[in-house]
Structure 1
Amino acid sequence: AGLDVYTGKIINMWKNNVIEPLRTKQQAVESAADAAIMILKIDDVIASRREAPMPPPGAGGRMPPGGMPMY
């Protein structure tokens, strides 16, 4: 059974020669899974940025306080 988009009625798709190949359905499921994986990866990147903020400028450098030593 399927929906006739022109009439809005449920029809027997096989009798009306509307045959959708299995590969089309497989591709749709694979594409949906790929999209979900991308969304989860992006969410992980955003979450990791919230957890580990960047140090403020000048913090953690190797120069002693006051800048370069005078020789």
Structure 2
Amino acid sequence: SGDVEDTFESGVVEPAHAKEQAVTSAAEAANLVLKIDDIISAGDLSTDKGDDEAGGPGGAPGGMGGMGGGMGGMM
């Protein structure tokens, strides 16, 4: 109808699980964006050195402190 109304009085009820999942998904997305930002920042730091030995052995990139653990802590 386009009017603002109380959804509970109108009979529209959203399950709590749907809201929990939305908040969880938003938190995971924010965490991913922050990790990507850290990776980009670390890449900028290694290119600013101007040194051929900025990476690890065999040209591998250096370690990222505090980035271990994978997805284990997200659930």
2:29 and 2:11 map into 1 onto residues whose CA distance is 32
* TM superposition score normalised by structure 1: 0.62
Q: CA deviation at 1:16?
A: 1.8
Alignment equivalent of 1:29, drawn from 23, 27, 30 = 23
If asked which structure has higher relative contact order (CA below 8 Å, sep 6+), I would say 2
The RMSD of aligned alpha carbons is: 1.7
1:23 and 1:36 map into 2 onto residues whose CA distance is 20
1:50 and 1:12 map into 2 onto residues whose CA distance is 50
The alignment-based identity, stated in percent, is 38
User: Which residue matches 2:70?
Assistant: none
- Runs of 4+ aligned structure 1 residues displaced above 4 Å come to none
Q: Identify the structure with the greater strand proportion.
A: 1
Equivalent pairs, count: 50
Q: Identify the structure with the greater helix proportion.
A: 2
Q: Which runs of 5+ in 1 are unaligned?
A: 1-6, 57-71
Q: Which runs of 5+ in 2 are unaligned?
A: 54-75
* TM superposition score normalised by structure 2: 0.59
